Structure 1
Amino acid sequence: MSPLHQAAQAALTAQQWPKLEQLARQLLATDPAEGQFLLGLALWRQGLLAKAGPALQQAATLAPRRLDYRAQLLHFLFDAGLMAPALQVLAGAMALAGGQAQDWDTLGNVATRLERHDLAQRCFETATALAPQQEPLWRHLGAACTFLGDKPAALAAYAKAVALAPDAPLAHWARSQLLRYQEGSTELAQLERLWQRLEGEDKGMVGIALAKALDDLDQQPRAFALLAQARELLAPSQPYPAEKLEAALAPLMAGKVAAKAQVAGRPAPLFIVGLPRAGSTLLEQLLGSHPAIALGGEQLALPRALQELAGVRRNWPGCAATTAWTRPWCSAWTSWTAGAWPSATGSWGATCPRTGPT
């Protein structure tokens, strides 16, 4: 590696984007592909998307076998909202061999966000084969299997993640959403020990998992107490910007009212809301994809808005509803869904207290 390459890599590691841009332009003369790639990254991170895209595309064209180039181009296209080109790049990347585990992990994460969970599973399987000792890769594989409805495979992946990092809270949290806990089980004992040992945000994540386990055991008073403690522990890193919430959710709620008026004269399909825990996500996706189900997957829009605003990964508003600023929206949503269909079942607001993060 030349001194110029080393300097560029150091700037990349330090996230010195203006300096990286300068060094990348110098690299164009001797290593056009790497120069275009680093230039694209530098421009992207500086917010110059119109210039970053062509540079990343040119790098992938000059070095079509470089999986890392494809992975970052895919990430860029998704962030820019260019879904059709992103899917094309993803399909091309899947045909490549080799690469690093991190590159396959990047591909898998973007495939997940594109809701191509079949491709995400393949990416994470490749990543875990390349780096079997990295706990996050197994956790990501478990999530992909969960989306595909393969519960045994998901639990096996989460078990591997827990074995590799026994104190890692995210693996325990993810696994807790799929398990039905039994009194005296090893998994329950692990959560109890971690709750006593960990501090801060890690303890908060374990607290959510343990609250779900206690709910399985019908120990609701302690479960609710743990959930309240967990939310306090997580609050510093997961702020809820109430001033942005209303502006973001108002058009969502307006859209629901308009949708209700448009379908009032049609036969009423089954509309399920308020489903608890992780299985609800899969069931809602199945219902929403059925041609006879209208608006079946629409309820995911509100949780997604809360996720983005709160910075919480896959945080059901049923859990967020314990805070005062979400209650008007919960009430409005419940009111709309209760009157939207004669055959509607359940009530989202009624199930909020026992709905956990998924």
Structure 2
Amino acid sequence: MRATAVRPLLAASLGLGLTLGLAMPAAAAVSKAVGTALQQAQRAAASGNSGAAIAAVKNAQAAASTAEEKQKAAQMAGYVYTRAGQYAAAANALQAAGAGPSQLAPLYYQAGQYDRAIAEAKKAGGENMQVLIAQASTKLGRPQQAIAAYQKLIASNGAKPLYLENLAGAQYKAGDKKGYLATTERLVRVDGSASRWKTLLVNFSQNSMRSEAKLALYHLMLATGTIERPQDWSEFTKLALVAGQAGVARTAVAKAGPAADAQAQRLVEAAQQMTVKSAAEAPKLAAAPGTAVKGGNAYLGLGQYPQAIAAYDKAIAANAADADQARVWKGIAALHAGNVSAGKAAFASVTDKAGMKDIADLWTLYASTRGAIKG
């Protein structure tokens, strides 16, 4: 199982720019010495001369005598140190000036003082601070706390794709495989792009499963445009050949590119020969309940979906050991034929007895998205 990359939310959510939202302190009635030093600090910081800015703000702090002067000097120190990337010093200066937790929390986070950042964020509350808590927990290697924070975010603010993505990453780090896959499925429901499907299906493919389920997975990867590796096209071809889906095998072997070696050439030839054979044998195979799945597979490979569905129905009615396979293939054939409701019904009828339930559930998810395959 591969993780979804955890994407940083903090800067986007908190609006953190160079100054983390800190403004230069407003003008106030201060002595000439303090005022001059504050102006020098402001100009130097704005021009990117951090050394001069820090030296000037220290002069302002040294010259400050009244409570107002000390506060303005501390505020300028927070501004200057933030511009300089010295976030811990900025936080200390602003804390002395009475800054609130929502201003201190992101500074402590940027300084790498994650426990202090979490403590301040909890005091402040709100969506942005919950984001900070989640990401600080991740930085501290506490995925369970991050999971709780992301779940709270989602419960309060909706299943935003970025929140789901980061929740999935935290679940992966926590070793919560079931939760990870469930969250990734939720993410696909919110954002059914090829990249989302790829994450879900590549991770799912690493599970142990029977060959028929793996073949159905490759069908789904084909439908979502998520097969990229030549070895996957090769395995897809082999599994389709074993299942008697000749036309599918021809499609897969063609996608793999020109035959580069003897084995690849044999796959091409086998797919071509089976296509001719399937057309002749499909009616006979489909007629008998014991071979109806094979007949349905032959018709599926040939693109004759009504005939494939009829054959699968015969196998389902017989309720033999391959009935769940027939239900999955019937659903796929129905989607190809443009009958989404029949496809969903077929997938929903798959039991958990024969190792086909999980892939049927993924096909149900796919059937619920716009543009489910036809043709």
Question: Shared topology, TM-score over 0.5?
Answer: no
Output the TM-score relative to the length of structure 2. Answer: 0.37
Which of the two has higher C-alpha Rg? Answer: 2
TM-score by length of 1: 0.39
